[in-house]
Amino acid sequence: MRTRLLGLMIAAAPLAVQATDGYFAHGYGVRASGMGGAGVAVALEPFGGAINPAAMGFLGNMWQVGATWFSPDRSIERSGSGMAGIDGSVRSESRNFLIPEFGVNWVVNPTVAAGLTVYGNGGMNTDYPGGQIAPMSACAQFNPPRPGVNPDYNLHCGNGQLGVNLEQLMIAPYVAWKFHPDHAVGIAPTIAYQRFKAYGLQAFDNPILSTSPGNVTNNGVTDSWGFGARFGYMGNFGPVSVGAAYATKMSMDEFGDYRGLFAEGGGFDIPSNFTVGAAWRALPELLLALEYQRIYYSDAKSVNNPSRLIYNCAGGDRAACLGGGNGAGFGWQDIDVWKFGVQWQIDPRWTVRAGYNHSENPIRPEDVTFNMLAPGVMEDHYTAGLTYSMGKDGDISAFYMYAPTVSVTGSSLFVGFGAPPTTTDTIRMKEWSLGIAYSRPF
């Protein structure tokens, strides 16, 4: 019964890959996404569980369903290895994802609103073909070929395809309470479900680098559950509204089948974050919104710990090994995100939007090698959107986002295991997304 219920939720919810503000989406809900993701201080659509539950006290009865096509383009490259022979370049094959969305808001009485938001919090995905590195190369030192089998080395000196897939689903019921006609608070207790798989990491699947060999790579899909909450406030001060929201860290069950890969025996907690912002209705038809967000990737050791801790592991510090209590990770830093959006209602039928989202890159050059698996380096996001109103028959909204190429180059992790000091790794990424949604009052 639980398996059938989970299957239905996965089919109906946005359990898909996103990587814009680190591995969080640049925005939640089609309308906010068209404004650079800004939505903490304005009630645009029933996505309070993902942005600010307090804002839903000002929304009214509405449901919304939609989908977004998301297309990340990732490539990786190694150069300068000389006689070691581990240079190469490859592009990820997985470049198209469909992300559904759903939300509903119900005004219980003049002071209370309740609803449900189901959304994808974030994720990472790569899928690189193998075969970039010749069998007669330094990769044989890390992952010796088996007799009669073509090792088909990838850029991590593993066999065959190289990649990961992390997906996170959030189910967030919420309640908003207007304790004053112009002020509201809200809470959204949130159930989190995530699943993960990794493949092509055979070079790290050994007793020297992992606390649990056999639980590092190619173990299929594993999943975990967790719980957290989002708290919010929104207040109106004449033509200006302000909003603030805080999402707690979500402590997740461990990925048991990958307890030799992630720190703390397969731990992969979901980071906390907070957002503050303001919206100004400069004219009856013109809305301007500005937000600041801080994402704490340091909440999760598997994400935040430096990848170069693996050198300490090789030197005898077992806690620093993959899967260890302080195991090597992706090295992602806490980041700041700024979101700016504008909305112009042309007439009762048409509303247009535009926005800009700037995120810090969480990946430092010294952590590039591990982040070939998860090159979440995006910085600038340019958005546009529109809504066509059909009155009582509902609204159709759409948005478009483009994030231009960002690349990071750093010394390869393999330098510490004997590759020439000139060996560097590079990760590159750019993105597009296009979403459409139908909403209707009730």
How many whole angstroms separate alpha carbon 130 and alpha carbon 162?
7
* Tokens linked to 317: 């510090």
How many whole angstroms separate alpha carbon 139 and alpha carbon 149?
15
Nearest to 123 by CA among 24, 225, 255, 262: 24
pLDDT recorded at residue 5: 40
Confirm if 232 and 175 have CB atoms less than 8 A apart. no
Residue 287: in which H helix or E strand, if any? Answer: strand 286-296
pLDDT recorded at residue 251: 93
* Tokens linked to 105: 């808001």
Nearest to 175 by CA among 122, 105, 252, 234: 105
The full set of domains in the chain, from first to last, is 2-441 (2.40.160.60)
Give backbone dihedrals phi and psi of 7, rounded to 5 degrees, phi first. Answer: -60, -40
pLDDT recorded at residue 7: 45
pLDDT recorded at residue 4: 45
Going residue by residue through the chain (442 aa), what tens digit of pLDDT does each one get? 444 444 444 444 445 455 688 889 999 999 999 999 999 999 999 999 999 999 999 999 999 999 999 999 999 999 999 999 999 999 999 888 888 899 999 999 999 999 999 998 767 789 999 999 999 899 998 899 888 778 899 999 999 999 999 999 999 999 999 999 999 999 999 999 999 999 999 999 999 999 999 999 999 999 999 999 999 999 999 999 999 999 999 999 999 999 999 999 999 999 999 999 999 999 999 999 999 999 999 999 999 999 999 999 999 999 999 999 999 999 999 999 999 999 999 999 999 999 999 999 999 999 999 999 989 999 999 999 999 999 999 999 999 999 999 999 999 999 999 999 999 999 999 999 999 999 999 9
For residues 377-392, one letter each, b for 16 or more C-beta atoms within 10 angstroms of the residue's C-beta and e for the rest, the string is: bbbebebbbbbebeee
What's at 184, amino acid-wise?
A: A
Confirm if 54 and 234 have CB atoms less than 8 A apart. yes
pLDDT recorded at residue 322: 97
Q: Which residue has the tokens 């680098």?
A: 209
Confirm if 280 and 240 have CB atoms less than 8 A apart. yes
Confirm if 49 and 174 have CB atoms less than 8 A apart. yes
Give backbone dihedrals phi and psi of 43, rounded to 5 degrees, phi first. Answer: -95, 95
How many whole angstroms separate alpha carbon 369 and alpha carbon 174?
40
Distances in Å between the Cα of 337 and the Cα atoms of 38, 151, 168 are 11, 42, 20
pLDDT recorded at residue 196: 95
pLDDT recorded at residue 18: 59
* Tokens linked to 285: 């038809």
Q: Whole-prediction pTM value?
A: 0.93
Nearest to 362 by CA among 124, 198, 103: 124
For residues 211-231, one letter each, b for 16 or more C-beta atoms within 10 angstroms of the residue's C-beta and e for the rest, the string is: bbeebbbbbeebbbebebebb
